[in-house]
A and B are shown apart, each in its own frame.
Chain A
Amino acid sequence: GAGVSQSPSNKVTEKGKDVELRCDPISGHTALYWYRQSLGQGLEFLIYFQGNSAPDKSGLPSDRFSAERTGGSVSTLTIQRTQQEDSAVYLCASSLGPLVDEQFFGPGTRLTVL
Chain B
Amino acid sequence: KQEVTQIPAALSVPEGENLVLNCSFTDSAIYNLQWFRQDPGKGLTSLLLIQSSQREQTSGRLNASLDKSSGRSTLYIAASQPGDSATYLCAVTVMYNQGGKLIFGQGTELSVKP
Contact = CB atoms under 8 A, between A and B. Distances in A.
A7 to B, nearest CB: 13
A104 B99 contact: no
Interface of B: 31-32, 34, 36, 41-46, 49, 51, 89, 91, 93, 95-107
B98 A100 contact: no
Interface of A is mostly: strand
Interface string A74-111: 00000000000000000101000011101111111010
Contact of B34 (A55, A103, A108): A103
Interface of B is mostly: strand
A110 B42 CA distance: 10
A97 to B, nearest CB: 8
Contact of B100 (A91, A99, A104): A99
Interface of A: 31, 33, 35, 42-45, 48, 50, 55-56, 59, 91, 93, 98-100, 102-108, 110
Interface-centre pick from A33, A100, A103, A105 (highest chain B CB count, 10 A): A103
Interface-centre pick from B44, B93, B104 (highest chain A CB count, 10 A): B44
B102 A99 contact: no
Contacts, number: 66
B97 A56 contact: yes
Given A33-B102, A35-B102, A42-B107, A48 B97 contact: yes
B98 A55 contact: yes
A107 B42 contact: yes
A45 B102 contact: yes
Nearest to B32: A100
B107 A50 contact: no
Nearest to A104: B46
Q: Which 3 A-B pairs have the closest CB atoms?
A: A98-B99, A55-B97, A43-B104
Contacts of A35: 102
